[in-house]
Structure 1
């Protein structure tokens, strides 16, 4: 029986922290230049909600701004993220390439399901050549509901997956696995929270631990 693992991107494969504060500072400096922000960059507030779709991010960080301002900010932030990725400011988590190679050698297909926007994901996949291993990368932009469970379901349907797991650092990843009858593997790094990880079937501290979990997908 063929196996598959669906990975989250931010806080699971990609160390978003390395470019998050830099890009957010760039963005809020831009808002200051437009006289649309006069306080500190709300980096801690963003960390609290990291993992939700970007439209919801700006609803939270810019609650009193217009929809037009939020959309403008969203576009500018994406530009800064992509630029910082292409300048090599980010990094994958340790052992991503090693684990991906192991999975492919063991006939396990790899997918990415992320709340990140398409251009952002394309930049990461392209810079780190993840498409050497990944069958396809899916963005929340492809789903009208902006729901991670629905995004994972779309992967299952497209590829006819029956034996798979979801790997991620946030509750949305764990819930997406449960909602689709898949194994949930929580990552004890990235933007993980203990109360969310407690709901996962497995919790790992390093991606290399997936090597030992892979045989359990058949059970």
Structure 2
């Protein structure tokens, strides 16, 4: 059970300090948005390269961008330990996942709420993680979509059948009141933005979220 705070909810003027505040987390989740695939613009490769130099935890890049086939591998090459692309935007997800892995990063595929899981289940051998979005991608602070839990459960069942170790990540509205639903459905990596950065003590918030899912295991 891993906690991956999203710096989308952090103070962008003090990102080195904000990363230091989450040194007890498993990952730092960095949302890259291009104002094309989603209607928001955040940060890109130069900022990620700067974050990689100072982050006390590995960086998990979630690329909400068009043409990830071209733009995703450089994030892995720069040193991000996990790179997530959206299946809706990838032209050749198999080749893309292999290129990300070849750079030494974990390859992950993400699905928007309206994207069904079944057409992409065959990609499981090529990826290390599946991200099930529990909000519409583009903005932080949205309400958690509990109706995505059956999709999380379906991914977990596919992973069981497939074998191997593929993580299942949830992102969007994950908080102390929703994280156990996600764990029960089959998630084991939890992206939390405002639930970590929204109060004074980020480390205490991380510890609280971790305590809530401790003991939840998935075969």
Task: Please identify which structure carries the higher strand content.
Answer: 2
Check whether TM > 0.5.
Answer: no
Structure with the greater alpha carbon radius of gyration: 1
TM-score by length of 2: 0.37
Greater relative CO, 1 or 2 (CA 8 Å, sep 6+) = 1
Pick the structure with more helix per residue.
1
